[in-house]
Amino acid sequence: MNTNLLYIPFRQSRPIDLGEELRQVIKSDYFQPPSTFEADLQLITGLRNNITGLKNEQVSLDTEGLLKDYYVYLTSIRKKFPDDCIEFGWYSTLSSFPTGPAKSRSFKIEELNIVYQLGSAYSQLALLESRHTDEGLKNACAYFQLSAGCFEYMLSIMKTESEEQTNPMSIPNDLSITTIECLKQLMLAQAQETIWQKAIGNPTLKDSVIARLSIQTSDYYSLALSNAQVSDFIKLEWINHISIKKYHFKSAANYRMSLVAQDAFQYGEQVAYLRVADDTCKEAQSYKRFVNQFVVEDFEGLTNTVANSLRVAVKENDLVYLKIVPNTRDLKPLVGTSMIKINIPQVLQENPPKDRAIFKALLPHVIIQVSQAFHERRENYIRERFHEPSQALNNMLAKFLADRGLPASIDSIQQPENLPRSIIQHSQEIVSLGGTQIIDQSIQEIVDLATESRRLIDECSGRIELVEEEEEFLKDRHSGYSISITPTKKAANDLIEKINKMSIYLDQAKSGDKVVTAKYQELKPLLDIYCGGYESLIRFVPDSSYIALDGKVSAIISDLRKALNEGSKIEENRREIIAGLEVKVRDNNILPLVLEEYKDNQDKIYDDNGNIKTRAFESLYDRNLQIFREDLKQLEASKNRQIAFENEIDMLNNRFVTEFRSGNDRSQTKRKEVLQTLENVYVKYLDVMSNLNEGSKFYIDFITKGNAVLQECDQFLFQRRLQAREIEQDIFSRLHTNDINPTVSRDIPLHAPEAKGGLLNPNQGIKFD
């Protein structure tokens, strides 16, 4: 386009079969056949491929319609699909040649790219309008304001996301805030320039009005320039173009003020304004390289006009008027008048109309997410309220019996040659759970998790060190300026405390790991005997002689055996409770219940913005948990039953110890000691397994929360870099206002959250005796 204005080139993207990509997502993640949505899949594929085929300087209102349609359908899709299910790639076109592609798995980023494309389309539509008619200038101005509105909308989204602490959107580098701010200010400058052009064609407008319009145009270009110089993606040709425009309109404003002074017979002020205009033109001469010829010709025309006017004004004042020429700084400052505004397109501000929605019959992915979240919560509930208490009760029972030498003390009497049933059951249980191999694997997994945890701590510390290095670099780079910023150690104090606590918790956990590993190594030889099965155990356990018992002792042993059998029944009862839970869980699938709730309560589930309120399903979750109420009562009854059982065992065992005397039968004593050793090993085995499970949970929780701290460190680094750019912009702007020794001060707003009681609860660490 042959013009002295700039348009923003379209970004580029390769066509993708978006419909096929979504078809695969539906197939894998949803419980509905993709064929139901064939028309919608084909529609979205066509729209995506159409917008990737847009060409610069070949735009029309149809282009605007295509982009708006795709944007509306995207917003509809985003409510139905997970944000990260499709990968998109876009090339930046602001540099001298395309760069990228910047890839992202996010519908939000795709929407930003389409808003950018819409802003680009409006900038090109503006240049298609005639600049020789009032109507054309009016339309061009409107398009430039719409373009600026697109970039303003992008900035509002990006700034909101950058302040998001939990899961901020990862903005591509070429869509940085400074780059988009530059484009927004450029569009505003060109919109103001169309107003200025219309104004200079109106002979009734005063020069003072045109001067205010001119200086405001220069101010917009100045803002665009300050951002362009910081951005890594604005090419030199554009920087020079914007620079020339900035100086052109500043010079034009002072030239118009010289005419105002002349009309008021203020010939000294006339000369002063013309000198400012002439100096401004000279200052701009170094930026003419690589600039459009139309821009250069306009600027040279103004330069010649200013130079000739200055020469005549100086001569006339020196020979005729003899007025004192005031110093430049004594001239009345020029205050701009803006005649434009940012106009965000309506399509970006409204919820998509219901008649434009697609995939209407597809379940919103948030419903599936709610179902999955409820399923996980229910699994945690069952584990915490049933599995863990049940296992804890079993462990307590085994330890209780082992502490009293049971059942080894009576097994050595009643079964002097055969293996006791309890020892065989322990062996079968240990083997079924994986034996020593599963313990070795668990220990190695914990070592790997501990290594990953340490890496996370190092990554977090590295981010803080990087902030400190960049802070020192900033101060060294601008050592001639007094830069006041909050020192990193103070600014990141909360984060540093979190990282230190992470390190302390990790050291404590590793100490616990060593104790558990040492305990396991001590048990391993005997566990290997358990894992060897019946043959291994029968070789290890010595036989004993038959002992003749009197009737009273025989009766006590018989009562003890019956009581011990009751203990086995208590454990069996708990296994039945757990088995019954699995049946209930299988018969009460969460998804159909959530779907029924969604269909029956549409009016309560959506908020005013058309988004699903996940908390609206909480009552459903609470109701679902009620099916386990009877099972909780059964488990509580089992606990009470065990308490009664232990009281009975204590009484019977005390009687047995009082009445039974083994005499000097060494074989019986040896067999009893070996059987008791095996019982103790089993109890310690249960303890090691429990410790390993707790250790694994600790590290997984540590890594989850550590990653959250790492995100906070990344966010802190990002915010400091933004502030560093602002400081450099301040320095640049002060340089251009001739401030010799500015003090650039920034109390950087921190997004490093306060440490609330530390990263993790130390009680979540590995427990050991």
Q: 609 versus 270: which is more confidently predicted? A: 270
Q: Is the pTM of this model over 0.75?
A: no
Q: d(Cα 422, Cα 400) in Å, to the nearest integer?
A: 14
Query: pLDDT band for position 164 (50/70/90)?
Result: low
Query: What does the mean pLDDT of the chain come to?
Result: 87
Query: Which has more pLDDT, 622 or 252?
Result: 252
Q: Is residue 89 within a helix (H) or strand (E), and if so which, with residue range?
A: strand 88-92
Coil, strand, or helix at residue 408? Answer: helix
Q: Which of 98, 12, 109, 1 is nearest to 51 (CA)?
A: 12
Q: What angle do CA 582, 588, 594 make, to 5 degrees?
A: 140
| Token pair in block for residue 404 | 């009293």
Q: What does the pLDDT read at residue 315? A: 95
β-bridge mates for residue 483, sequence order: 744
**C-alpha angle 290/296/299, rounded to 5°?**
140
* pLDDT beyond 70 at 16: yes
Contact 163, 134 (CB under 8 A): no
Average pLDDT over residues 704-726: 87
Q: Which helix (H) or strand (E) holds 624?
A: helix 618-625
What integer pLDDT is reported at residue 719 of this predicted model? 83
For residue 317, what are the β-bridge partners? none
Give yes or no for residue 281 having a pLDDT over 70. yes
The C-alpha atoms of residue 469 and residue 459 are separated, in whole angstroms, by 15
pLDDT band at 83 (very low <50, low <70, confident <90, very high): confident
pLDDT of the residue at 58: 94
Token pair belonging to 412 = 């050595």
Answer yes or no: is pLDDT of 453 > 70.
yes
Query: Quick one: CA torsion of 705, 706, 709, 714, rounded to 10 degrees?
Result: -130
Does the pLDDT value for residue 616 go beyond 80?
Answer: no
Query: Has residue 747 got a pLDDT over 50?
Result: no
Give me the residues paired with residue 102 across strands: 90
Higher pLDDT, 162 or 420: 420
Q: What pLDDT is stored for residue 609 in this prediction? A: 63
Beta-carbon-side half-sphere exposure of residue 83 (alpha carbons within 13 Å): 10
What own/partner pairs with CB < 8 Å and gap ≥ 24 does 513-516 have? 513/446, 513/447, 513/450, 513/695, 513/766, 515/766, 515/768, 516/688, 516/691, 516/692, 516/695, 516/766, 516/768
- All structural domains of the chain, each given as residue ranges with its CATH number in brackets, are 18-349 (1.25.40.280)
Higher-confidence residue of 584 and 414: namely 584
Mean pLDDT of 536-553: 82
What string of DSSP letters covers 717-741? HHHHHHHHHHHHHHHHHHHTTT-SS
Quickly state the pLDDT bin for 754 (edges 50, 70, 90).
Answer: very low
326-384 pLDDT, tens per residue? 998 899 899 999 999 999 999 998 877 766 778 888 888 778 888 888 888 999 999 99
Q: Could you tell me the sign of the dihedral formed by the alpha carbons of 98, 104, 110, 115, in that order?
A: negative
